[in-house]
Amino acid sequence: MVRYLDLPTRTRGVTVEDDNGFFNIYINSKLSVEMQKEALEHELRHIQRNDFATDVSLLAAELS
Ligand SMILES: [Zn+2]
């Protein structure tokens, strides 16, 4: 599930794992379309690499 939200300006994206083990990605809608695409790919890479299983701190917001 990907949502585009008005996040704080310095935040590019956030990925949150819900109680069912699904990942919800939030991308800052203030970014340009190109930056949104990059931020989304960045978040998807974390999920593919299973980064969140090894480092819970990665669940923190991605700052630009
Ligand atoms: Zn990251």
Residue 9 lies in a domain: yes
CA neighbor of 44 nearest in space, from 5, 13, 11, 10:
13
Give me ligand 1 centre to Cα 30, in Å. Answer: 18
What per-residue confidence (pLDDT) applies to 9?
83
Residue 63, domain member (yes or no): no
Distance CA(48)–CA(31), nearest Å, equals: 23
What pLDDT does 4 receive? 94
1: tokens are: 């599930």
Q: How far is the CA of 58 from the centre of ligand 1 (A)?
A: 7
Confidence at residue 31, expressed as pLDDT on a 0 to 100 scale: 94
Q: Quick one: pLDDT at residue 61? A: 59
pLDDT of residue 46: 86
In which domain, by residue range, is 29 found?
Answer: 2-53
What is the token pair recorded at 41?
A: 């790919």
Q: Could you tell me if residue 62 is inside a domain?
A: no
Domain assignment present for 60: no
How many Å lie between the centroid of ligand 1 and the Cα of residue 22?
18
| Residue 3 confidence (pLDDT) | 93
Please tell me the total count of domains within the chain: 1
Q: What is the pLDDT of residues 24-64, one digit of tens each?
A: 899 999 999 999 999 999 999 988 888 776 555 555 557 65
Pairing between strand 11-17 and 62-63? Answer: antiparallel
In a domain, 61, yes or no: no
The β-bridge partners of 4 are 27
Report how far apart the first and last C-alpha atoms of the chain are (Å, whole number).
22
